[in-house]
Amino acid sequence: MSKSSPPISASRQNLRRLANIRYIALGGQILALYYFTQVFPLGLPIGVISALVIGFAIVNVLTQWRSHWATAISEKEFGAHLLVDISSLTVLLYFSGGATNPFISYYLVPISIAAISLPMAMTWGITGLSILAYSILLIYYQPFTQLTPHHDSSGFNLHILGMWINFALSAGLITYFVVRMAAALRAQEAELNAQQEEQMQDEQLLAIATLAAGAAHELGTPLNTMKLLIDNLAEEVTDPHQQQDMATLNQQIARCRKTLQSLVNAASIIEEGSSPMAVTTYVEGLLDNWMLIRPDIKPRINIDSDVPNIDACFHPVIQQSLLNLLNNAADASPQQLEIDIHWDQSSLYIDIRDHGPGLSPGQLEKMGKPIPSDKPGGLGLGLFLTHSSLNRHGGQVSLLNADGGGLLTAVTLPLNTADRL
């Protein structure tokens, strides 16, 4: 299967387009030079203008060659190419009538290109230089009587002055409006890219949710079978150690059935809306549930005593997301784990500090996406689902390698007095 070529950057595409525009301008200059020397002679300095046209053609060939280099093309470099166009045009117009030359309005071309492709500051700089060049050509140039409009000797040439005013207004309007239009288009494109990325994430979550629903349906029957077998075995076992093992198996099966039942209950909670509960009750229940799941962990838990007594609504997926983060920390550092919790009127803050190996640079870069798990039997979906779930409910998760080793997981969760879902 053939590999598709990598996408071309916007600056590189713009530079290639600029080279094509220059070729069109060169063609027009050559035709004008031929007409005003052979058909309607104006007495132009043919040698100087021809050298300028040839030099500009060489510059454009080099520009097109540059557009195919592997080195990235920055906005400053692209702006420098536009300055070359302005300088070349200014020199050419100096030898061909200055501001009286009808092609003086070609200054609007680099201004328009800058307004679409460059930041506002650089665009205004190019606009200012173009107006300055136009202003200089009003005074300093080699005149030709055929290009000079008729005027009386009582005052300044109103025709030339009007052309200058028209150019300055046109340049300012193009810079002002086109820059904003281009910025709006770029913002819209960025928003569309963000929506596409969110849609792709939603599709991944939907696929995982579909698989989870199917697994919940299929696991019900084998769990019931295991429950019946263990109950029968428990009646026949007389050894105390074996009876304790049977009781442990019964607890684990009951926990599995409770988890599956919570998947069914979650749908009704989403439709009907969850009821507010005290944040203290929610936090203590979360930690008690986790400690029941992980009795081997002895963490240091600090719940700030100076917290407001408020109620809030918590979606059921939030608890599962927080349990995933706690379990990840416990797996990384079973013997040393610190949990600090506090909240205010608007947000709940949970800081989880483990002393494990931390995350590699590659894992930090791919945070929030499905990544291969280093844990035995890990599916690499826990962090992805946790990020997605908490982000959907206004929460934020940041994972940073802590000083001295380990990982610091900081969770910020908004406290809603009414469920938004």
What percent of the chain has a predicted confidence (pLDDT) above 70?
A: 75
Confidence check: pLDDT of 346 > 60: yes
Specify the CATH class of 274-414 in words. Answer: alpha beta
pLDDT recorded at residue 201: 64
Which SS3 state, helix, strand or coil, does residue 343 take? strand
Confidence check: pLDDT of 386 > 70: yes
pLDDT digits (tens, 9 = 90+) for 205-239: 565 565 565 566 567 667 777 877 887 887 777 78
Domain boundaries, the chain: 10-148, 274-414
Q: Is the pTM of this model over 0.85?
A: no
pLDDT digits (tens, 9 = 90+) for 171-209: 776 777 677 757 766 776 777 777 777 667 666 656 556
pLDDT digits (tens, 9 = 90+) for 264-293: 555 444 444 467 889 999 999 889 888 887
Q: What is the mean pLDDT of the chain?
A: 78
Confidence of residue 349 (pLDDT cuts 50, 70, 90): very high
Confidence of residue 40 (pLDDT cuts 50, 70, 90): confident
pLDDT recorded at residue 376: 45
State which of 14-23, 161-170, 315-324 shows the largest mean pLDDT. Answer: 14-23
